[in-house]
């Protein structure tokens, strides 16, 4: 039998999905990618098949609509502006910081709802994964882990000086497609290596896929979440 996944609850900028039986014992805050919305990863929740005895609240925030330089200034849902994807292109520091503050507020709300910070995982895909890495590693209280899918580490030259002492060894799972045409495998590898060099315990898995989520990856993500939260 597939574990319970309650109908999603949505407000103006967040979708929430509950699994398992009883009140939530853990939370996963999951950011969508560029141009998507808060419903993008909602169908993934039942596919994770988390056990009934592990009630988890999945919180899917929604990025604001803003012009994106790399897409010709076209307005779309975006966590921050992207000027380009070459290694030396400037980054939208203000936009990244704004999104990080919002994710920190989401974490605070989960803690206010009774979830211990160590049982909160911050996750994201593509641009959302960049926000997940940036915000979680700077959060002042110890978290449960970071799940970073098909993404990269933004503002990596500043991480050593800005990282929270509480999350200096936070478990990180990074997954990437070997044939990703949007964010190349090398982007992910650079980010992985930067994190490893600074002492983070990164688990890295590359899949024979493009910029997407695959069934083997879903199984690996589910196993990693159970290991962090059970």
Between the alpha carbon of residue 122 and those of residues 41, 53, 119, 186, 212, the distances in Å are 14, 21, 10, 23, 19
Q: Assess whether 211 carries a catalytic annotation.
A: yes
Choose the catalytic residue: 5, 78, 99, 126.
126
From 5, 40, 135, 180, the catalytic residue: 180
Tell me the C-alpha distance between 60 and 83, whole Å. Answer: 25
Burial class (CB in 10 A: 0-12, 13-18, 19+), 147: buried
Contact 2, 47 (CB under 8 A): no
Would you say 195 and 172 are in contact if contact means Cβ atoms under 8 Å apart? yes
Decide if 180 is catalytic.
Answer: yes
* DSSP 8-state class, residue 91: -
| Strand-pair partners of 44 | none
Task: Determine the Cα–Cα distance for residues 167 and 214; give it in Å rounded to an integer.
Answer: 29
Pairing of strands 56-61, 14-18: antiparallel
Strand order in the sheet with 14-18: 9-10, 14-18, 56-61, 26-31, 120-125, 145-149, 172-177, 202-207
Active-site positions read 126, 180, 211
């Amino acid at each position: 039998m597939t574990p319970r996944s309650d109908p999603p609850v949505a407000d103006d900028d967040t979708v929430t999905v509950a699994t398992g039986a009883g009140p939530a014992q853990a939370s996963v805050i999951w950011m969508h990618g560029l141009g998507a919305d808060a419903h993008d990863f909602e169908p993934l929740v039942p596919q994770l098949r988390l056990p009934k005895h592990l009630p988890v609240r999945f919180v899917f925030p929604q990025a604001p609509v803003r012009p994106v330089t790399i897409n010709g200034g076209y307005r779309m849902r975006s966590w921050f502006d992207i000027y380009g994807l070459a290694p030396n292109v400037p980054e939208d520091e203000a936009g990244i910081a704004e999104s990080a503050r919002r994710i920190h507020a989401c974490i605070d709300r989960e803690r206010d709802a009774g979830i211990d910070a160590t049982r909160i995982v911050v996750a994201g895909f593509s641009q959302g994964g960049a926000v997940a890495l940036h915000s979680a590693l700077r959060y002042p209280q110890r978290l449960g882990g970071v799940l970073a899918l098909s993404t990269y580490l933004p503002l990596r030259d500043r991480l050593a000086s800005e990282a929270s002492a509480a999350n200096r060894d936070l478990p990180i799972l990074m997954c990437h497609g070997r044939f990703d045409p949007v964010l190349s495998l090398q982007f992910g590898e650079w980010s992985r290596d930067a994190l490893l060099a600074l002492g983070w315990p990164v688990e890295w898995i590359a899949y024979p896929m493009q910029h997407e989520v695959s069934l083997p990856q879903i199984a690996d993500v589910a196993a990693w979440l159970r290991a962090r939260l059970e």
